[in-house]
């Protein structure tokens, strides 16, 4: 197999917010070995690389973007791997697998760790890259290592001493720029299947009640400041339901920016700036973006 080099996608069609302009090319890998050709492919395209998973945490500008999208073919089944500690199960997973499929796979086998994250869209690679999480669970809680491609070294394994992760952040030690996570190694705790199912059911119920999960959003726009809820601060600052040109802070959960149809990145950026300014001047909190801006 070799890398596929495809026409550059319109990011509006590849992001859940439905925003973003045309890119120059898409380079798609179907296996870890494919990535051996990534340096050459990027040189041929001659554009900045953008790792793209499910596009569910991206706010992209609506203009032509000098970018080569690097993506992973969807699919692949999780595989059991050796080396787990007692009471745990180690699994190797292709980064292009949808996170929801992994969560279901684990739930059916009584593997705890992802159940609180039920309903998070996107891919396993994207979830690790942003350390996605909810209801007390995050990717870092199960992560034992990643196979990632970097321009300097190609694909290498980065074990626990070679990555750092925290609240919605992940980095590879010594890697400052682009990297592509191709495969990940995860350690799950063995639990009763019913308990795992119950945790997932409760998390999904809470999400459905509190978040506009079916709307065109990119999840939470801002990170929660230490000890605070960004959604509550936005609400108190009058941004719940505030809209501009097709974009709107959700009336259901103020930290979700929704594209109600016809929204633009310009409107999104203006709303974000206004919200940040209001929260800063009223409450002294400088809101940090959780969504990744691509421009």
Ligand X SMILES: Cc1cc2nc3c(=O)[nH]c(=O)nc-3n(C[C@H](O)[C@H](O)[C@H](O)COP(=O)(O)OP(=O)(O)OC[C@H]3O[C@@H](n4cnc5c(N)ncnc54)[C@H](O)[C@@H]3O)c2cc1C
- Contact footprint for ligand X (CB under 6 A): 16, 50-58, 72, 95, 120-123, 125-127, 129-130, 132-134, 179-181, 213, 217-219, 292
Catalytic, out of 26, 103, 248, 290? 290
Nearer to ligand X, 9 or 84 (CB): 9
CB of 241 to ligand X, least distance (A): 18
CB of 26 to ligand X, least distance (A): 13
Spatial CA neighbour of 258 closest among 289, 209, 198, 217:
217
Residue whose CB is less far from ligand X, 56 or 196:
56
Min CB(179)–ligand X separation in Å: 6
Strands (E), 129-278: 133-134, 137-138, 143-150, 154-158, 163-166, 169-172, 180-190, 243-244, 247-249, 257-259
Write down the catalytic residue from 14, 137, 199, 220: 220
Please say if 168 is a catalytic residue.
Answer: yes
State the nearest-atom distance from the C-beta of 132 to ligand X, in Å. 3
CB 233 within 8 A of CB 285: yes
* Spatial separation of the C-alpha atoms in residues 27 and 153, rounded to whole Å: 19
Rounded least distance, CB 170 to ligand X, Å: 8
Query: Helix 193-210 and helix 99-108: axis angle, to 10°?
Result: 140
Q: Which helix (H) or strand (E) holds 37?
A: none
- Cα 188 → chain centroid: 20
Question: Which residues lie below 8 Å from residue 74, measured CB to CB, with a gap of 6+?
Answer: 96, 97, 98, 123
Q: Minimum distance between the CB of residue 220 and ligand X, rounded to whole angstroms?
A: 7
Rank residues 69 and 237 by Cβ distance to ligand X and give the closer one. 69
Do residues 243 and 249 lie in contact, with contact meaning Cβ atoms separated by under 8 Å? Answer: yes
Nearer to ligand X by Cβ, of 36 and 280: the residue is 36
Residue number, 49 or 276, with CB nearest to ligand X: 49
Distances (CA, A) of 245 to 175, 249, 259, 261, 268: 39, 12, 9, 9, 9
Instruction: Please pick, among 90, 107, 137, 168, the residue that the annotation labels catalytic.
Output: 168
Q: Considering beta carbons, is residue 84 or 117 the nearer one to ligand X?
A: 117
Q: Are 246 and 260 spatial neighbours (Cβ–Cβ below 8 Å)?
A: yes
Find the helix or strand (DSSP H, E) in which 7 lies.
strand 4-7
What's the CA gap between 190 and 193, in Å, rounded? 9
Catalytic residues: 168, 220, 290
């Amino acid at each position: 197999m070799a890398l596929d080099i495809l026409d550059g996608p319109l990011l509006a069609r590849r992001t859940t917010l439905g925003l973003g302009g045309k890119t120059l090319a898409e380079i798609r890998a179907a296996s870890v070995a494919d990535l051996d050709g990534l340096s050459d492919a990027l040189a041929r395209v001659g554009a900045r690389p953008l790792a793209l998973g499910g596009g569910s945490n991206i706010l992209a500008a609506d203009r032509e973007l000098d970018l080569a999208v690097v993506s992973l073919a969807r699919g692949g089944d999780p595989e059991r791997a050796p080396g787990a500690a007692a009471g745990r199960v180690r699994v190797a997973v292709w980064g292009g697998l949808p996170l929801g499929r992994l969560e279901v796979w684990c739930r059916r086998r009584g593997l705890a760790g992802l159940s609180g994250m039920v309903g998070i869209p996107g891919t396993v690679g994207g979830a690790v890259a942003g350390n996605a999480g909810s209801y007390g669970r995050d990717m870092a809680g199960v992560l034992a290592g990643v196979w990632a491609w970097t321009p300097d070294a190609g694909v290498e394994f980065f074990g626990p001493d070679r990555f750092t992760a925290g609240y919605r952040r992940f980095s590879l030690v010594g890697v400052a720029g682009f990297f592509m996570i191709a495969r990940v190694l995860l350690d799950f705790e063995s639990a009763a299947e019913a308990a795992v199912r119950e945790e997932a059911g409760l998390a999904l119920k809470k999400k459905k009640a509190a978040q506009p999960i079916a709307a065109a959003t990119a999840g939470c726009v801002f990170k929660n400041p230490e000890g605070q809820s960004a959604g509550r601060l936005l609400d108190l600052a009058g941004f719940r339901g505030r809209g501009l040109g097709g974009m709107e802070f959700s009336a259901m959960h103020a930290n979700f920016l929704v594209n109600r149809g016809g929204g633009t990145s310009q409107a999104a950026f203006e709303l974000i700036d206004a919200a940040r300014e209001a929260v800063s001047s009223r409450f002294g909190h400088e809101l940090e973006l959780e969504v990744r801006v691509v421009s």
